[in-house]
Amino acid sequence: MSKLARYLNEHVVGNVFDNAEILELYKNDRSILTQNPRLVAFPETTDDVRKLVRFSHQLASRNFRLPITMRGAGLDKTGAAIGDGLIMSTAKLNHFEEIDLRGRLIRVQPGLTLGRLNAALRFTGLELPVRANPRSTIGGLIANCSSDPLSDHYGGIYHFVERMEVVLSNGELAQLAPYNAHGLNIKQGLTNFEGEIYRKIDNLWDKYGDIIVDRSMQPFDLRGYANITKVRQGHVFNLLPLFFASQGTLGIMTDVILRLEPTPTNTRRLAVSFHDLRQAQRFLTFARDLDPLALDIYDLSIIEQANQFGNKPDLFRRKIGQGLLVIAEFDGWRFRSQRKINHCLEFLPSSIYSVVETPENRQSFAEVDRALASYLNDDLAGERTPLCDDVYIPEVKLEDFLRELEKLGTELDTKLAVFGSFSAANYHVRPDFRCETAEDRQKVAKFLRTYTALVEKLGGSITGGTPEGRLKSILAVPHPVGEQALYQEVKDIFDPYNILNPGVKLGAERKKVLQSFRSTPLLGVCEAD
């Protein structure tokens, strides 16, 4: 063990490793990028986190670099969960701490997974209504603030975090919550680093007021620190919004209080297959106005390809063909959800194939999710690598998006099958590309350029459903100069030595990112998310 790892292990309850076998496990996330860390730490307490951050901060003050990257389940698809310094895993910060069933509140550590949280709440009648990979950690959900299929109905993870405890970049502990004018004055009167942050962030409104107002008009873009627009709301001042979509660049979460919702009852689904994109667009717009719980789409080629692995859903008893599968899900009282489904059926032409979920065919609906998993893992060497998932496309442009994608697929000699959420306007495409040779990497780079240009031409955003990380930051249109300066000041205020996930969101170097492309696929099976 190196002197550095030995020293840190003497001062923390958890463990710090520098052996090659463990470092190898943490050099990849789910993105196409790879980076070799120097150390991997597994803190077990908040004090562990504070000591590790304080150590990195003290090194930086002496011009030595040991940057810190927080990592939950390693599911980030933009290269934000990898780094060349210290990877700090939340694997042991995964406990339930307190629950208030009457108030529908629960206090948890950031390493707790969504699946484990909702499984534990199953018999309480409550849940965290976020539909994402069950292995996603609470900290990861907040750090990425990704759009999920239920976000249009419930508002996403952003609307369910009441308070948060964070370790700041100098090792201080801060409690983030909304404060009125009196509470803000108390915070700004503190003589420590936290007080300095409150004073400087408040002053940004005098310096960048017009830019902050303009930024609030772009809701489907998570680049930079977009939630600076939500820090000051009327007479309330709250730093908590800044940590959503911050990807671990401003501070490290150690404790989160979540608000829960009653588990939806009597959910029912309607599956409709379209071979005409214009008909699909009209139906989706109609169903969207009925306030569905979720409104998901799948390219029928995904179902067709999964069929090659013997995973054909029983919903399709005839030839699948080409087109779009729409799954509309409604909740609420039984008669209300049935009435909405009836409205949908009345809207559809008689020639359109549709199936309503019943207790008898519920398993067949679940097989659609398994078909997506088969598609994402159709290569025996590993999953289809996410290149540019989670893009925002305006509702009225979906038909144009699908037609343009077909042309782009022909140009690149690959099938670009879409899946995602119409209600959240969040979509994914997984081309079957590799990066084993220079020619492969050129093909990937060409796809990323042309795909980004297509999304922007249609008024969309590649950072509409998830923040930029490393990969998307070199693809997106640069921020206007004033906006870039605002975000840089936010980063400098919270992290003056740039030790928290440097190169993520701000400061990514294009050449370095492109050189970080993996040459081998990730092994194992991924879940559909």
Q: Among 89-98, 170-179, 437-446, 491-500, name the one with the lowest average pLDDT.
A: 437-446
Burial 321-353 (b: 16+ CB within 10 A, else e): eebbbbbbbbbbeeeebeebbeebeeebeeebb
Residue 205: φ, ψ to 5° = -65, -35
Tens digits of residue pLDDT in 32-47: 999 999 999 999 999 9
| Pairing mode of beta strands 86-89, 68-71 | parallel
Other Cβ atoms closer than 10 A to 90: 25
The pLDDT, as a whole number, for residue 332 is 82
Alpha carbon 309 to its chain's center: 29
Q: Where are the domains of the chain?
A: 268-457
The pLDDT, as a whole number, for residue 523 is 61
Tens digits of residue pLDDT in 194-221: 999 999 999 999 999 999 999 888 888 9
The pLDDT, as a whole number, for residue 266 is 81
Q: What is the DSSP string of 385-400?
A: PPSS--EE--GGGHHH
- pLDDT grade for 381, boundaries at 50, 70 and 90: low
- What is the residue whose two structure tokens read 């780079």? 445
The yes or no reply on domain 268-457 and CATH 3.40.462.10 is yes
Say whether pLDDT at 377 is over 80: no
For 38-66, what is the mean pLDDT? 97
Tens digits of residue pLDDT in 290-332: 999 999 999 988 888 777 666 666 676 565 668 899 999 999 8
The pLDDT, as a whole number, for residue 159 is 96
Q: From residue 124, give the alpha-carbon distance in Å to each of 34, 100, 163, 192, 232.
A: 41, 11, 22, 42, 35
pTM comes to 0.94
How many Cα atoms within 13 Å fall on the side-chain side of residue 472?
Answer: 30
Amino acid at the residue 329: E
Tens digits of residue pLDDT in 6-21: 999 999 999 999 999 9
Order of strands across the sheet that contains 96-100: 96-100, 105-108, 252-259, 161-167, 173-176
- What is the residue whose two structure tokens read 């490793």? 17
- What is the residue whose two structure tokens read 């949280």? 117
Q: What is the DSSP string of 248-296?
A: TSS-EEEEEEEE-EEPP-S-EEEEEEES-HHHHHHHHHHHHTT--SEEE
First to last CA, the chain: 38
Residues whose CB is less than 8 angstroms from the CB of residue 56 and which lie 6 or more positions away in sequence, other chains included: 66, 67, 68, 85, 86, 499
- pLDDT grade for 360, boundaries at 50, 70 and 90: confident
Tens digits of residue pLDDT in 399-410: 999 999 999 999
3 state SS of 282: helix
For 473-487, what is the mean pLDDT? 91
